[in-house]
Structure 1
Amino acid sequence: MRERWNHNIHYHPVVLSAVPASARNALDVGCGEGTLARALRAKVPAVTGVDLDQPSVDLARRFGDDISYVVGDVLEHEFSSSFDFIASVATLHHMDAKAALTRLSSLLRPGGTMVIVGCARSEARDLPYELAAVVANSVHRRSKGYWEHPSPTSWPPPETYSGMRRLATELLPGVEYRRHILWRYSLTWAKPA
Structure 2
Amino acid sequence: MGERWNHNIHYHPRILHAVPYGAERALDIGCGEGMLTRALRDVVPEVTGIDLDTPSLELARGYGDDIEYLHGDFLEYPLEQYDVIASVATLHHVDARTGLLRMCDLLRPGGVMVVVGVARAVLPRDLPYELAGVAANWAHRAVKSYWQHPSPVVWPPPVTFAEMRALTGELLPGATYRRHLLFRYSITWKKPT
Deviation per CA, 1:57-89, whole angstroms, max 9, x where unpaired?
00000000000000000000001x200000000
SS class of match (1:177): strand
* 1:103 corresponding residue in structure 2: 102
* 2:54 corresponding residue in structure 1: 54
Does residue 136 in structure 1 map to residue 136 in structure 2? Answer: yes
* 2:5 corresponding residue in structure 1: 5
Quick one: distance in 2 between partners of 1:150 and 1:40? 20
Percent identity over the alignment is: 64
* 2:25 corresponding residue in structure 1: 25
Paired amino acid for 1:96 = D
Task: Please list every run of at least 4 consecutive aligned residues from structure 1 whose deviation after the TM superposition is greater than 4 angstroms.
Answer: none
Does residue 85 in structure 1 map to residue 84 in structure 2? Answer: yes
TM-score normalised over the length of structure 2: 0.98
Paired amino acid for 2:95 = D
Quick one: distance in 2 between partners of 1:149 and 1:51? 14
Deviation per CA, 1:105-161, whole angstroms, max 9, x where unpaired?
000001100000000000122111101111110011110021000011100000000
Measured after TM superposition, the shift of residue 2 of structure 1 is 6.7
| Cα RMSD (Å) | 1.0
Quick one: distance in 1 between partners of 2:2 and 2:165? 35
Give the 3 Å change call, closer, same or farther, for CA 108–2 of structure 1 in structure 2: closer
Judge which range, 119-128 or 98-107, deviates more.
Answer: 119-128
Quick one: distance in 2 between partners of 1:192 and 1:40? 22
Quick one: distance in 1 between partners of 2:171 and 2:139? 36
* 1:118 corresponding residue in structure 2: 117
* 1:41 corresponding residue in structure 2: 41
Quick one: distance in 1 between partners of 2:189 and 2:147? 29
In the alignment of these two chains, the number of paired residues is: 192
Paired amino acid for 2:11 = Y
Instruction: List alignment gaps of at least 5 residues for structure 1.
Output: none
Judge which range, 24-33 or 117-126, deviates more.
Answer: 117-126
* 1:159 corresponding residue in structure 2: 159
Measured after TM superposition, the shift of residue 22 of structure 1 is 1.4
TM-score normalised over the length of structure 1: 0.98
Paired amino acid for 1:27 = L
SS class of match (1:17): helix
SS class of match (2:44): coil
SS class of match (1:125): coil
* 1:72 corresponding residue in structure 2: 72
Contact 1:2 1:144 in 2 (8 A): no
